[in-house]
Amino acid sequence: MPQIVTANSLIEGDVVFRTADGGWVRDIDAAGVLADKAAAEAAHAAALQDVKAAKVVDVALIDVTAEAGKVVPVKLRERIRAFGPTVKSDHRADLKPFTA
């Protein structure tokens, strides 16, 4: 199964995803999708260097599906991390609940 590398940015705390060129972005569709184990291990090892460099924390490899440019995590927990809480609330117009 394809994987991507995710983390939280150190300073903001935001959920971020590692791109193919080693950057960190909030948009999961821009994540570098890792087709095999070797690619995943290499990306994970590189991401750990960014932990040392105080850029990100809590690095993890997660399983995803990647079709037609849409990257979707397999686990609900990771979908919630990627797309935000599923709760609806009047208090947060900026957060659009998604259907889990």
Partner 1 sequence: MYRYDEFDAAFVHERVAQFSDQVVRRVAGDMTEEEFRPHRLMNGLYLQLHAYMLRVAIPYGTLSSRQLRKLGRIARVYDKGFGHFTTRQNIQYNWPALKDIPAILGELAEVEMHAIQTSGNCIRNVTADHFAGAARDEVADPRPYAEILRQWSSIHPEFSFLPRKFKIAVTGAAHDRAAIRVHDIGLEVRRNEAGEIGFRVLVGGGQGRTPMLAREVNAFVPEKDLLAYIDAIMRVYNLYGRRDNKYKARIKILVHETGLDELKRQIEAEFEAIKDGVLTLPADEVERIEAYFAPPVFPERPAASASFEAARAADREFDRFARVNLHPHKTPGYTSLTISLKPIGGIPGDASADQMDVVADLAERYAFDEIRVSHEQNLVFPHVALDDVHAVWSVLKEHGLATANAGLVTDIIACPGLDYCALANARSIPVASRISERLGDPDRQEAIGPLSIKISGCINACGHHHVGHIGILGVDKKGVEVYQLTLGGSPDETAAIGEIVGPGFDSDQIVDAVETVVDTYLKLRSSPDETFLAAYRRVGEAPFKEALYGA
Question: Which residues are near partner 1 by CB under 8 A?
Answer: 8, 10-15, 51-54, 57-58, 74-77, 80-81, 84-92, 94-95, 100
Name every residue whose Cβ is closer than 8 Å to that of residue 31 and which is 6 or more positions away in sequence.
4, 5, 6, 17, 18, 19, 25, 64, 71
CA-CA distance, 89 to 92, in Å (whole number)? 6
Instruction: Copy the structure tokens of residue 26.
Output: 């909030």
Provide the CB-side half-sphere exposure for 26 (13 A, CA).
Answer: 6
From the CB of 45, what's the least distance to partner 1, in Å? 17
From the CB of 46, what's the least distance to partner 1, in Å? 17
Cβ proximity to partner 1, 54 vs 68, nearer residue: 54
Cβ proximity to partner 1, 12 vs 38, nearer residue: 12
The H or E element spanning position 16 is strand 15-18
From the CB of 38, what's the least distance to partner 1, in Å? 26
Cβ proximity to partner 1, 39 vs 95, nearer residue: 95
Cβ proximity to partner 1, 22 vs 85, nearer residue: 85
